[in-house]
Each structure stands twice: as structure tokens, then as C-alpha cells.
Amino acid sequence: MGGDIPESRAGAEADILSGFPAGIPIYHPSDPKFHELRLLFNLASTNTAHPLAVVRPRDEQELATAVKFCASAGVPMTIRAGGHDLQMRNARSDAVMIDMRELDTVRVVEDDGTQRRHAVIGGGSLIRHVWRTLEAHGLTTPGGWCISVGYAGWAAGGGYGLLGSYYGAGADQILGARVVTPRGEIVDTDDDPELLWALRGAGLGNFGVVLELRVKVYPQPRVLAGLLVFPFAEARQVLGGLEDMYDQGIPSALAAEASTRDFGPAVPAVVVFFHWILDGTEQNAAEGQEYLAKYRALGTVVADTVSQTTTLAFCEVMDTTTPYNTSFYFESVSVSGLSDELIDAIAASPAPEGAYIVIHHAHGKMLANNDDDDDDGGDDNTATAYCLRDRHYVLGLLACRDHPGFTSEEGTARIQNWAEALNREIRDRRKLALGHCYWSFTKNEDCDVVAIYGEEGVARLRALKNKYNPGNAFPGCYPVL
């Protein structure tokens, strides 16, 4: 499980944490459960980073006490729930890992004096648990593609997903929060609106640990959803057709994103993820079928799984295609459109077996007001630190380094080199990358904090960090301020 801890390192860890408060669950490297608890989605980080210890608080007081102790002792901390940071910032060998998974309650609350409701979501809740709990109440809220992701980190980082075009980004759903600061204080955003603004898009550890979020909920819709698979030989045609439809403006009810991947030896493909929200009207249902026909006509459909379902059911099937505890190498780049030049770069670099490209498209309520197209305009989102509100695509280049076809060092290097080379082809040679990026996907060195948040936004974020976390108690946090 990633190698043994050197005795000298184990002794130093014991000295640093010798005064840790009794009664709070803490797992040291010598504990049999330690290696299991430190496992993350990206096994590459597990192989390279051995936390000083894993702390699993069971309630808010234990969390506050543990955080205060570590901060006071000068012990760095990382925060994990789903453990999905593909850039491996949630595990460090010089830090204690705060494991939030025991703090995973989800409850639906009636708003005072209204017919409306909202959800209170624990900082350790996974999207799967959030959706299953809300489904029992006939409700939903936006979540990410991968349902083993931690909800709080997903939403506080911006939050892309299949429901975003219809309801808004994950950050837009946050009504309020309670945060544990390095001083061990529990701060409610009702008492600091500036903190609420910051948590909506820049809240991944800069100001403390998110104890819980209060978020918007909606009646759960049925959806028309599934995969449309086309031969990779038709990549230019299919991706170009997607761009043509995006240019014409697609309804907010539609999320039609794409991926290129290899389904086995010499079976490369382009996959379109079709997801249409049904609002119960005949007109909406007919329009959904019309768009499905348009997408089926993009090329030669070799597989078609589209049917009526729920977003949760669709994503549960999708989740089986990306196993947990796999070693990944991940690159990400944001672009303004699927230009001919970008499509040429993708078509010229088919993903090897065990690798794939995901293409997330931001439109509808993911964007700020867009007066040119009512279907493509969202609410006024100036109350969020998240401000990537121009039309864009987020590309993820994911290489599975321990895929059965790449078990040798040579094979591992080849699949990683594919992701690195395509990223640099898009960024450096073809100059297609936007100045901003989606930080939750992207390496720190490829992120420009001013391009993402603006000079005024960065100044506000730094002032708030200086207020709550001047000692940078969570060095793996992002954005880097």
C-alpha cells in the first residue's frame, strides 16, 4: 500500500502529535486502519504521500478541537471527503489528513414561513449520498458527474455537472455555510456575507474547513439520458457538429457533453453524454426528442443507451466506468470553443487504451446574464467568487497509469506522455487555452489566480484569508492566494 514509513519519520510524527486531544479518532501510520483510510481516488497520491496521521472527527466539536490543536502546534493539515482531487493536493507527507467522512449528514429543512425547502449537507457527504437522500424527498440539487466526489469541495470549487445549465453551478446553490477556522471557531456565513461570497467558488480550505453547507433544492425531474457512441474515425465530424449546435444555442434543459476514449484494443470512440431534463410538458418532451434526433445524426451511432431515467441512476451507471483507487495522471485546459484547430489536435491524438478526454460545456445558468439568448442566460451571479461566466469548455485529459495494458514502466510513461503532449499542443503550440481555468481540475502551475478571480476578487479573497487563516494552516488548499 505505497511502502513503509521510515522509523525516523514515524518517531518525528509521534513527537509532533504527542499532545493530540484524547478521545478524537486519530490513526497513525502504525495503525492497521491507517493505510485503508488514507486511500484516495487517485492512487498515485497514495503511493507518494504518507500523511503524518489521519483524523476522523465525529462531530463539530471534535473537528474544531482537532483543527485548533494542529494549527496551534504548527502542524499542516489537508482536508478530504471524497478524496477526488486528481492533482493530489489533499494528501501531503508533512501534514495531518482531516478525514470528513463521518460528518456526512444530509437533511431537508423547511424554510421559515414559506413553502420552500433547502438541504443542510455535512462537509463529508458524497454526491451519491446527497442525491439518494434528496431523492427520498422527491428533490434534487446539482452535483458532479462522478458521484463519489465530496459535495462540499465540488460546490465550493465552482461545480460543473449535468444539472448546471438548468439550475446553475454548484457554487450558485450555496445559501449559507458553517466553517471551522484554524482557531477552532465555528463561523456562520450569516454573520459574514463576505465569507459566503468567497465560499461560492474559492472555498477549498483557504478560510477553514466547511462543516456544513445550506443549499438550494428542486423537485426531482425525470430525464432523457444516456450515451451515444460514434467511431473515433468520425471525431472531426461529431465534434464539429457539437460545436455547430452549441453555436446556434442549445436549451438549458440539455447537457450534451463529450468524451473520447478507447473501449478496448483498437476500439477508439467518441462518446456523447446526452441529458435532457423533462419538465412534464408535452412541448418539452417533444423538444427533447428533436434534440436527441439531431445528436444521433452527428455520425454513425454504434451504441445508444438513451432512455428515460433519473440523473442519479444515469450517474450511478457512469460511476462504474471509473474505478476508485486507480492511479491517474490528469491534465486540464479550458478553451472558448471546439474550433477546427482544436478538433484537429484531438483527432490527431487518439486516447490510448486506459486514457480519455472529457469535454465539459458551460452554458445556460452556468453563465451570467446573456441578453443575446434567453435560453443561454443565467441569474445575476455577482454574489459568487466563481466568475467563469463566459461560454467555455473544460477539457480533462486523463491517463490511467495502472490500466492492465500499461503495467510496465514504458507503458505507464507512454500513456502519461500522451496527456502531457496533448495539453502542451493545445496550450503552447496552438495557443488555444483561455487565460482562466477550472482550478479543481488543473495543476496549480497552470492556473492564473488573477485571470480566474480578477484583481478585485483576489484582493477580497486575500483579505479574507488573512482574517481567518493567516498562517495558511491548509497548504494544499486552492486557489493559491
pLDDT of residue 456: 96
Between 332 and 10, name the one with better pLDDT: 332
| pLDDT tens, residue by residue, 388-447 | 999 899 999 988 876 665 566 766 778 889 999 999 999 999 999 999 999 999 989 999
Map out the domains of the chain as residue ranges: 7-99, 106-219+461-468, 222-445
**In sequence order, what are the beta bridge partners of 375?**
none
Over residues 104-133, mean pLDDT: 93
| pLDDT tens, residue by residue, 262-278 | 766 567 899 999 999 99
pLDDT score of 165 more than 60: yes
pLDDT of residue 87: 84
Over residues 108-131, mean pLDDT: 92
pLDDT of residue 124: 98
pLDDT score of 3 more than 50: no
pLDDT of residue 360: 93
How large is the angle between the packed helices 235-248 and 340-347, nearest 10 degrees? Answer: 150
Q: Do domains 7-99 and 222-445 have the same CATH topology?
A: no
pLDDT score of 98 more than 80: yes
pLDDT score of 72 more than 80: yes
Between 413 and 260, name the one with better pLDDT: 260
Over residues 279-286, mean pLDDT: 98
pLDDT of residue 45: 61
**CA distance linking residue 265 with residue 238, whole number of Å:** 22
pLDDT of residue 376: 37
Look-up of cell digits 490543536: 69
**pTM for the full model?**
0.92
Q: Which of 11-25, 105-119, 214-228, 377-391 ranks highest by mean pLDDT?
A: 214-228
Look-up of cell digits 468524451: 259
Q: Selecting from 3.30.230.10, 3.30.460.80, 3.90.1150.10, 3.30.465.10, what CATH number does the domain 106-219+461-468 have?
A: 3.30.465.10
Please tell me the least confidently modeled range out of 113-127, 335-349, 373-387: 373-387
Question: Closest Cα partner for 54 from 81, 86, 15, 19?
Answer: 81
pLDDT score of 223 more than 80: yes
Over residues 473-478, mean pLDDT: 94
Query: 97 and 80 in contact (C-beta within 8 Å)?
Result: yes
pLDDT score of 280 more than 70: yes
Here the cell at position 362 is 458551460
pLDDT score of 5 more than 60: no
pLDDT of residue 369: 43
| pLDDT tens, residue by residue, 357-395 | 999 999 999 996 433 343 433 345 569 999 899 989 999
Please tell me the least confidently modeled range out of 93-97, 210-214, 307-311, 352-356: 352-356
**What is the CATH T-level fold of the domain 7-99, as seen in this structure?**
3.30.465
**CA end-to-end span of the chain, whole Å?**
33
Over residues 72-78, mean pLDDT: 97
Share above pLDDT 70 across residues of the chain, in percent, rounded to a whole number: 89
Over residues 115-140, mean pLDDT: 96
Question: Closest Cα partner for 447 from 460, 434, 430, 457?
Answer: 434
pLDDT score of 474 more than 90: yes
pLDDT score of 335 more than 90: yes
pLDDT of residue 266: 60
Output the average pLDDT for the chain. Answer: 90
Q: Please give the CATH architecture assigned to the domain spanning 222-445.
A: 3-Layer(aba) Sandwich (3.40)
pLDDT of residue 377: 37
